[in-house]
Amino acid sequence: MSLQLRVNRKIIPVDAAPDTPLLWVLREHLGLKGPKFGCGVGACGACTVIINGIATRSCITPASAAVGADVTTIEGLSADGTHPLQQAWQQLDVPQCGYCQAGQIMSAAALLQHTPHPTDEQINDAMDGNLCRCGTYARIREAIHKAAAAANSTQSGSSAFHKPAAT
């Protein structure tokens, strides 16, 4: 069955069953390797993408649920890695193994779309469920604060997190 998805600002027809997990459509049909398979039950966050502004676990989301929605993967944040979150992650050496980082960044991006100046508590709440085996949680929180400050200082009051860059 053909599904029409809007992924990273591009409308793409995909030949997949409606109940195929969105993660597999993104990875196998569209070649987007940012979202990772971690647990398959939505508990680890490695597969997180943003759907209509909400951090969503793509491993438990049927592809049909994304029809008519805006789906953003890590590849859609910035084609060249210049998104404020990606820069903050690099500047603070957040990743160790890196496996969870795309999901972490996507959850952080969804948070900052809605809360441009988050508190530690808001960050902890938004990032709850994104597991990091390497335990870089303090650096993740610091990077989110750094990205928020950078985005808000360069956008004269409007957040850089409202719309992902076109790819």
For 5-17, write each residue's pLDDT tens digit. 999 999 999 999 9
- The per-residue pLDDT for 1 is 84
Per-residue pLDDT tens for 59-81?
Answer: 999 999 999 999 999 999 998 99
Per-residue pLDDT tens for 27-66?
Answer: 999 999 999 999 999 999 999 999 999 999 999 999 999 9
- The per-residue pLDDT for 71 is 98
User: Same domain, yes or no, for 69 and 88?
Assistant: no
Residue 60 is assigned to a structural domain of this protein: yes
Cα 48 from Cα 36, distance rounded (Å): 8
Rounded to the nearest integer, the mean pLDDT of the chain is 93
User: Same domain, yes or no, for 37 and 92?
Assistant: no
Residue 165 is assigned to a structural domain of this protein: no
Mean pLDDT in residue range 131-142: 96
- The per-residue pLDDT for 167 is 43
Residue 79 is assigned to a structural domain of this protein: no
User: Same domain, yes or no, for 92 and 60?
Assistant: no
Which of 74, 97, 127 represents a domain boundary (last residue)? 74
- The per-residue pLDDT for 35 is 98
Which of 56, 74, 92 represents a domain boundary (last residue)? 74
- The per-residue pLDDT for 33 is 97
Mean pLDDT in residue range 97-109: 96
- The per-residue pLDDT for 153 is 81
Query: In the chain, pLDDT over 70 holds for what percent of residues?
Result: 92
Domain that holds residue 9: 2-74
* Residue 165, pLDDT above cutoff 60: no
| Number of domains forming the structure of the chain | 2
Could you tell me if 146 and 112 are in contact, meaning their C-beta atoms sit under 8 angstroms apart?
A: no
Could you tell me if 141 and 119 are in contact, meaning their C-beta atoms sit under 8 angstroms apart?
A: no
Please enumerate, as own/partner, the contacts of 137-143 that have beta carbons within 8 Å and a separation of 24 or more.
139/92, 139/93, 139/94, 140/94, 140/104, 140/108, 142/92, 143/85, 143/88, 143/89, 143/91, 143/92, 143/94, 143/108
User: Same domain, yes or no, for 149 and 104?
Assistant: yes
